[in-house]
Amino acid sequence: MTRLDFEMEVKKVLREKGITQAELSKLLGIKPSYCSDIIRGNRNGGDVKKKMMKFLGIKEVLWLN
């Protein structure tokens, strides 16, 4: 799976749930820029990425690398 695939999946789920990236970052307790970097694949994110995927209902096995 590519970084672009992950980004597209996250954005699709955000649209479906009616949540913005800014709202997601608040829910996760992180800065919007850090949230964006994780989604775009510029940062690994570690546990924050896992928390994001759990919140959004995205299967971890496909995206953690």
3-state secondary structure (DSSP) of residue 1: coil
Percentage of the chain with pLDDT > 90? 74
Mean pLDDT value across residues 4-27: 94
* pLDDT score recorded for residue 10: 94
Catalogue the long-range contacts made by 31-40 (C-beta closer than 8 Å, 24 or more residues apart). 39/6, 39/7, 39/10, 39/11, 40/3, 40/7
On the question of pLDDT at 63 being above 70, the answer is no
